[in-house]
């Protein structure tokens, strides 16, 4: 039986350092909508604080994945929507608490003019593949 998730190294593509170029998987696909820095009561966590917002967003992602029977080990793609690229170090730090460096998923980071509410500094979505 083959591994449910593989990370092939594409020939002729400059190596990535903060993400993986290609992740393949076999199994059930889970799409997690963009998560925001809101606690379980809908309150903003970390107004103006990228680190606090990133930690909350990754905790929300973790909870969403768990609800679908997945973990960060199953994540094959993350998309970061940020209002300022200066927030990326905070996002990487929060990601490192959940995703080991040797299992970095494919990723995209996009700076946007605004999110659904002006106090949100980021929104992060995920795709995962669970075996079977």
Please report which confidence band the pLDDT of residue 24 belongs to, taking 50, 70 and 90 as the band edges. Answer: confident
**Has residue 22 been placed in a domain?**
no
Contact of 20 with 6, CB cutoff 8 Å = no
pLDDT at 4 over 80: no
Residue 66 lies in a domain: yes
Q: Is beta strand 5-6 parallel, antiparallel or unpaired with respect to 122-130?
A: unpaired
The number of C-alpha atoms within 13 Å of 87 and in the hemisphere containing its C-beta is: 25
Q: What is the pTM of this model?
A: 0.91
pLDDT of residue 2: 53
Residue with tokens 């995703």: 99
Contact 95, 61 (CB under 8 A): no
pLDDT at position 1 is 39
**Is-contact 126 78, C-beta < 8 A?**
yes
Determine, yes or no, domain membership for 38. Answer: yes
Residue 56 lies in a domain: yes
Distance in angstroms (rounded) separating the CA atoms of residues 34 and 73 = 18
DSSP E strands, 53-132: 75-82, 106-111, 122-130
Domain count, the chain: 1
Residue 4 lies in a domain: no
pLDDT band at 102 (very low <50, low <70, confident <90, very high): confident
Q: Which domain holds residue 52?
A: 32-130
User: Hey, how many other C-beta atoms are within 10 angstroms of the C-beta on 21?
Assistant: 14
Residue 3 lies inside a defined structural domain of this protein: no
Q: What is the mean pLDDT of residues 56-71?
A: 97
Q: Is the pLDDT of residue 55 over 60?
A: yes
Within-domain flag for 6: no
Whether 101 shows a pLDDT value over 90: the answer reads no
What pLDDT score was predicted for residue 98?
Answer: 97
Residue 43: give its domain's CATH number: 3.30.1330.40
Would you say residue 24 lies in a domain?
no
């Amino acid at each position: 039986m083959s591994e449910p998730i593989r990370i092939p190294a594409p020939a002729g593509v400059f190596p990535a350092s903060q993400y993986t170029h290609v992740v393949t998987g076999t199994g059930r696909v889970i799409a997690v909508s963009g998560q925001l820095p809101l606690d379980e009561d809908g309150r903003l966590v970390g107004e103006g604080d990228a680190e606090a917002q990133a930690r909350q967003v990754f905790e929300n992602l973790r909870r969403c994945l768990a609800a679908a029977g997945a973990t960060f080990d199953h994540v094959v793609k993350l998309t970061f929507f940020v209002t300022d690229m200066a927030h990326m170090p905070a996002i990487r730090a929060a990601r490192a608490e959940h995703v080991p460096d040797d299992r970095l998923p494919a990723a995209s980071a996009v700076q946007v003019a605004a999110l659904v509410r002006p106090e949100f500094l980021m929104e992060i979505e995920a795709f995962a593949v669970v075996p079977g």
